[in-house]
Amino acid sequence: MLLDQKRTQRIVKIAAVLTSVAFAGLGIVVIAVIMLGGGGNATEADRVTAARERVEQQPQNASAWDQLATAEYLAGNKDAAIKASRKSIALAPREFTRRLTLVRIYKESGQPQLALKEIQAYIDKNPNDAEAFLQLGGTADEAGNPIMARLAYQRFLTLDPQNPSAAQVRERLKALTGTQTAPAG
């Protein structure tokens, strides 16, 4: 019995020491994170800096310029964001996703007419891009231009009647016109 008590006391002491070491180690890690500024989310300025570095390393990469545009916009640098977005578009003029960043910047800053112009400029060179017509319809709808929205939605449905968004677009067309005027797909 005495032997069991001594063994139990020794195990308790070992467990206490191990627990103390573990908590001390955790405390050191927490203090290091706080002192070195790690562990938190990157600031907008950090994102801009990282995006600028990527652009410097890959100046012909449209995606890098697009990321810079997004980072600049989120940091409140609208003019720099527009400039970076235009560079992305120049590098990849046939990629609609590059233009969407600029469209989003214009829409979110209350300039839907500029957003519409960007989409239309793309459509002029890519008249069979269903996604562009879907975006044109949505942007025109938001801008209060139901005629343009209806025409864009109709063209979208003509180009891609089986698109997953087609049913929702048909419903929106009904609301815009009062009757379904789009192909049933």
Residue 103 and residue 158 in one domain = no
pLDDT at res. 128: 97
**Single residue among 91, 107, 123 that ends a domain in this structure:** 107
Q: Does the structure show a pLDDT above 70 at 28?
A: no
Query: What is the domain range of residue 30?
Result: 1-40
Contact 137, 156 (CB under 8 A): yes
pLDDT tier, 21 (very low <50, low <70, confident <90, very high otherwise): very low
Range 55-64 average pLDDT? 96
Range 180-184 average pLDDT? 47
Residue 68 and residue 82 in one domain = yes
List of residues 6+ apart from 38 with CB closer than 8 A? 32
Residue 9 and residue 46 in one domain = no
pTM: 0.69
Q: Does the structure show a pLDDT above 60 at 53?
A: yes
Q: 1-5, 115-119, 133-137: which range is least confident on average? A: 1-5
Sign of CA dihedral 150, 156, 161, 167: negative
Distances (CA, A) of 3 to 7, 10, 13: 6, 11, 15
DSSP track, 20-81: HHHHHHHHHHHHHHHHHT-SSPPPHHHHHHHHHHHHHH-TT-HHHHHHHHHHHHHTT-HHHH
pLDDT tens digits for 86-126?
999 999 999 999 999 999 999 999 999 999 999 999 999 99
Mean of all residue pLDDT scores within the chain: 82
pLDDT tens digits for 168-178?
999 999 999 86
**Single residue among 107, 125, 143 that ends a domain in this structure:** 107
Residue 176 and residue 116 in one domain = yes
Range 154-158 average pLDDT? 97
Residue 126 and residue 182 in one domain = yes
